Structure 1
Amino acid sequence: MAQPITPAQLDDLFNGSAPFALVDVREAGEYNASHIPGSSLMPRRMLEFDLPVAIPHIDSLTVLCDDDGQRVAKAVATVEAMGYSNVGWLDGGVNRWMSLDYPTEWGVNVPSKDFGEKVEVVHHVPEIDAIELRSRMDLGEKMVILDTRTPEEYRRFCIPGGQSLPGGELALRITDVTADLDPDTTVVINCAGRTRSIIGTRILQRMGLDRDIVGLKNGTSGWVLAGYELESGADRDELPQVSAEGRAAAEAYADRCAAEDGVDFLDVVGLERLAERSRSETVYFIDVRTAEEYAAGHIPGFRWFPGGQCVQRSDDVAVVKNAPLVFCCDGRARAALTGSWYRQLGHGEVYALNGGTEAWAVAGKSLESGRNVGARFDGSIGGAGEPELVTAARNSVPSITAQELESDRPDAILFVDTSQDFSRGHVPGAHWVPRGWLEWQVAEHVASEDARVVVTCGDGRQSLLAAATLQSMGFTNVGVLDGGVASWRAAGLPVETGLSGVMRTPADVVFSGPDRTYADMQNYLRWEEQLGDKYAAAD
């Protein structure tokens, strides 16, 4: 049975070595405004989908928190219904924690951002600002601009002429990227802001690449603030093949980093021992290759998280504190280098599988294909499958087609995904009632428990869970739009856009990149840079 955790007890957990997780179940905007350092964001509406991957062992101590205790009680009930047996909640929430003078911070993925600023200050990572870069581009100087974000981010917008090379691939492929470049060609590393640019530049700096290397200060945000246009729809994202020379250089570098930073190499037998440990505690098994490589064949039980993002979002990857981490690739370079960053971030027990998937296959073991990102070694949780609570809701909630909803309108249509999803398109006349606040806000739009209500969302999953909640509250005539707004669009029916009818200022979304206002970009970048001030003072 779930137990309250006092702020003092939580502080003791942070200062100890026992494994535990602190999960903040509020929405992203609320978390961004203020949260407890060391907490991981997982909005209440995502628990059924994300918790089994984030906390793979159901006996792990899982502490939930919100601001004042309202929503956390509902979240505790959900987590226990999912089978978790060691659940607690922060008594009084973040508000009481703060009132007792325990620390809070703002922002998302703060551990990696703070670490990035430390890396820049301590290692004097070279950088170039947007104005100087543009001037050098206009002069026709020799340079190659490498974008270390995900391919999806890159395709949306990039520095003109830049090419995609995700951060986790840099060390492995840089030898081949630069093989045909003149020795005086400058390598420019960029991301959307600061962290991935700093980390990418530091990778090449530490590797000892024999040419001029600089990171673009403030990334694409700095480019926009300098008054320049970004390129959209770029397709220069095909990764170069890895030559024997390139692999040898990357592996030599990875071996050095592993030795210096304390990453232990595992063989297949050692991996199987850790797999056995994972039956009684949380152990993270993470494949850091590209999505295509992972889908083509991966070791059962390994979750996919590309290396660069693995570092950028370390608090989303290692949600359980003090848990072992095992990284895998097709050899050892990418795994060991990701592990070295985690050791530098302060994680204690970090491993790389020596030989990766190839060693596993040579040992006569089978690989899995596809994107089953949540499977345990014993196969008990399948990320590609449907969560049990969603299946239960599907069996209890009637569904209707888009055509049926269009021809026979109910008393109320609710949309329970994020405000951003609602703004991008919803069934005309729908009311935005976020699932995290459903119990408290539904009465504003539904007159009585016997009113006919149809619940919608983007793809039909959140609406099933929301409808099941309404049934448990006593609503007797609840259905869902089968397939969500995606099916509505597919049927060729009109959608309504914008925040129509929304009377509260949404606090559920954190905008990034060019979606931010200029002022937000400026404040965000200044905040990131100021994280490094404490390291500058100690340098």
Structure 2
Amino acid sequence: MTIRTIHRATLQTWLTTGTPGQSAEFALLDLRDEADFAKGQPLFATNLPLHRLGAEVEKFVPRLTVPVVLVDEGNGEATKAAHVLDQLGYTDVVILDGGIPGWLSDSPNGLPTFDIAGNIFTVSMADQRGTPALTIAELQALREAGENLIVLDTRTPPEFALSHIPGSRNLPGGELLQRFLDFVPSPDTHVVVTCAWLARAIIGAQTLISAGVPNRVSYLVQGTRAWVEAGNALAEGGEETFDAASAAASEFGVRHAHVLAAEADVEWIGPNAVAAWLEDGQRTTYLLDVRLPEEFEAGHLAGSISSPGGQLLAVSHRTVAVRGARIVLIDDAVGDVRAITTAYWLKQRGWDVRIYDGTLQDRIPGVDARIGTAAI
């Protein structure tokens, strides 16, 4: 095969044409290992190291004809990856000339990214909407004064178990409306939403506010990071068990999710329309299951990918590798509360998104059942 490269100026043009959900389609794969990727994400691309590429690329880039841009550390990994993709049948693969070092070599500040970085988007949104904030010192003062409050940590259960603010409870962001009343039965309770820093806390707090819950809601500024910087110790363990939401909580969640759906003009799509989307050789369509991972493992729509809603909101690039793709969200709960919450925010980030109007038992023509594995 002939190895093609593109200059960073070309990639800059692609990245600045339209929003993530409305630009021409292309995939951007960062081939660095997980540790190097975690140190800095200048492109906010999808991380898929070479040793995982062959086994996992199909779920991230399901359409073989979509343009794929490979980015490495300038160490030749992209050339090896291009050969792997060629053998798998991908027909339009290019390499970013110079890799990450070349991308950052000139004017590293202000460079465009594949997706809007979660922190950038959420901080901007908090400024625009005036989302109430609470500092660590203010939280401690309220606790000492005996304020009726609860701290909800919206990270994943494994993250919460590793370290969290003492006294907080774990309620992943996608579950906030679905289970809110089970965690916060009184409208007089001050709800403080937190995470490791900002993105998921702000999104969680503003979700509750925009949905019209009666409680006072704030987000904790810089979350667990600020807690440690203030000289406090973090707690470990304390995992929540997420059984089915109570009937009262489900009704509450549906009622308030409908507020979000109306505001964002959220749309649904049935099995036949999804099949037509999947048959479209010019567009990529993702089937993303926004439920908890254990629910996905217990049973899911064939061909769907596990992508819990709260994580999809903050770090959509971890799952959605193709810019300009269409997204179908799957949720089997009454009223699609988690899917509505996720769609509400993805639409504001420019993604073309629908909620699946069907059952987990459906068999959609054109779906490859082998794809159904957890992505996050």
Establish whether TM, by shorter chain, passes 0.5.
yes
Q: Please say if 1:378 is aligned against 2:368.
A: yes
Post-superposition Cα deviations, 1:381-423, rounded to whole Å, max 9, x if no partner, equal: 5649xxxxxxxxxxxxxxxxxxxxxxxxxxxxxxxxxxxxxxx
Partner SS for 2:137: helix
Q: Please say if 1:3 is aligned against 2:1.
A: no
Change (3 A) 1:352 1:6: same
For residues 225-244 of structure 1, the aligned pairs below 5 Å read 225-235=229-239, 237-239=240-242, 241-244=244-247
How far 1:253 moved relative to its partner?
3.2
Distance in 2 (CA, whole Å) between partners of 1:178 and 1:98 is 46
Post-superposition Cα deviations, 1:19-74, rounded to whole Å, max 9, x if no partner, equal: 00121212345445666535333233332343222112222211112243632212
TM-score, L = length of structure 1: 0.62
Q: Please say if 1:316 is aligned against 2:318.
A: yes
How far 1:87 moved relative to its partner?
1.0
Q: Please say if 1:300 is aligned against 2:302.
A: yes
Distance in 2 (CA, whole Å) between partners of 1:133 and 1:93 is 44
Post-superposition Cα deviations, 1:355-406, rounded to whole Å, max 9, x if no partner, equal: x53xx55xxx369xxxxxxxx813355649xxxxxxxxxxxxxxxxxxxxxx
Q: Please say if 1:215 is aligned against 2:215.
A: no
Partner SS for 1:158: coil
Partner of 1:201: 205
Distance in 1 (CA, whole Å) between partners of 2:103 and 2:190 is 49
Change (3 A) 1:238 1:67: closer
Partner of 1:459: none
- Within the candidate set 250, 261, 269, 1:247 is matched to 250
Do 1:34 and 1:104's aligned partners in 2 also have CA atoms closer than 8 Å? no
Distance in 2 (CA, whole Å) between partners of 1:135 and 1:287 is 40
Partner of 2:292: 290
Partner SS for 2:322: coil
How far 1:157 moved relative to its partner?
1.8
Distance in 2 (CA, whole Å) between partners of 1:15 and 1:246 is 42
Q: Which amino acid is 1:271 matched to?
A: V
Change (3 A) 1:32 1:259: same
Distance in 2 (CA, whole Å) between partners of 1:294 and 1:230 is 30
Post-superposition Cα deviations, 1:429-456, rounded to whole Å, max 9, x if no partner, equal: xxxxxxxxxxxxxxxxxxxxxxxxxxxx
Q: Which amino acid is 2:13 matched to?
A: D
Distance in 2 (CA, whole Å) between partners of 1:70 and 1:210 is 56
- Within the candidate set 156, 160, 169, 2:162 is matched to 156
How far 1:258 moved relative to its partner?
3.0
Partner SS for 1:231: coil
Q: Which amino acid is 1:79 matched to?
A: L
How far 1:144 moved relative to its partner?
1.6
Q: Which amino acid is 2:294 matched to?
A: E
Distance in 2 (CA, whole Å) between partners of 1:99 and 1:153 is 34
Partner of 2:353: 350
Partner of 1:116: 122
TM-score, L = length of structure 2: 0.87
Distance in 1 (CA, whole Å) between partners of 2:61 and 2:236 is 37
- Within the candidate set 88, 92, 95, 1:89 is matched to 95
Do 1:63 and 1:90's aligned partners in 2 also have CA atoms closer than 8 Å? yes
Q: Which amino acid is 1:61 matched to?
A: P
Partner SS for 1:21: strand
Partner of 1:257: 260
Partner of 1:275: 278
Change (3 A) 1:110 1:226: farther
Distance in 2 (CA, whole Å) between partners of 1:241 and 1:40 is 32
Change (3 A) 1:128 1:109: farther
How far 1:291 moved relative to its partner?
1.7
Post-superposition Cα deviations, 1:248-283, rounded to whole Å, max 9, x if no partner, equal: 332343333234324321123322322333x66421
For residues 338-417 of structure 1, the aligned pairs below 5 Å read 338-347=342-351, 349-354=352-357, 356-357=358-359, 361=361, 365=362, 377-379=367-369, 381=371, 383=373
Do 2:154 and 2:200's aligned partners in 1 also have CA atoms closer than 8 Å? yes
How far 1:231 moved relative to its partner?
1.4
Do 1:35 and 1:105's aligned partners in 2 also have CA atoms closer than 8 Å? no
Change (3 A) 1:8 1:224: closer
Partner of 2:192: 188
Distance in 2 (CA, whole Å) between partners of 1:185 and 1:72 is 52
Q: Please say if 1:68 is aligned against 2:71.
A: no
Q: Which amino acid is 2:318 matched to?
A: D
Q: Which amino acid is 2:218 matched to?
A: V
Do 1:307 and 1:338's aligned partners in 2 also have CA atoms closer than 8 Å? yes
Distance in 2 (CA, whole Å) between partners of 1:108 and 1:158 is 30
Note the aligned Cα RMSD (angstroms).
2.8
Distance in 2 (CA, whole Å) between partners of 1:227 and 1:176 is 32
Partner SS for 2:268: strand
Change (3 A) 1:166 1:75: same
Structure 1 unmatched ranges of 5 or more: 368-375, 385-539
Distance in 2 (CA, whole Å) between partners of 1:142 and 1:15 is 46
Q: RCO higher in 1 or 2 (8 Å CA, sep ≥ 6)? A: 2
Deviates more, 1:283-292 or 1:39-48: 39-48
Do 2:194 and 2:200's aligned partners in 1 also have CA atoms closer than 8 Å? yes
Partner SS for 2:43: coil
Change (3 A) 1:229 1:103: closer
Distance in 1 (CA, whole Å) between partners of 2:101 and 2:244 is 52
Whichever of the two has the greater Rg, that structure is 1
Q: Which amino acid is 2:310 matched to?
A: G
Q: Please say if 1:135 is aligned against 2:125.
A: no
Q: Which amino acid is 1:274 matched to?
A: W
Distance in 2 (CA, whole Å) between partners of 1:107 and 1:13 is 10
How far 1:204 moved relative to its partner?
0.9
Do 1:31 and 1:106's aligned partners in 2 also have CA atoms closer than 8 Å? no
Distance in 1 (CA, whole Å) between partners of 2:180 and 2:73 is 45
Distance in 2 (CA, whole Å) between partners of 1:108 and 1:153 is 25
Partner SS for 2:64: coil
Do 1:32 and 1:108's aligned partners in 2 also have CA atoms closer than 8 Å? no
Do 1:111 and 1:314's aligned partners in 2 also have CA atoms closer than 8 Å? no
Distance in 1 (CA, whole Å) between partners of 2:342 and 2:59 is 19
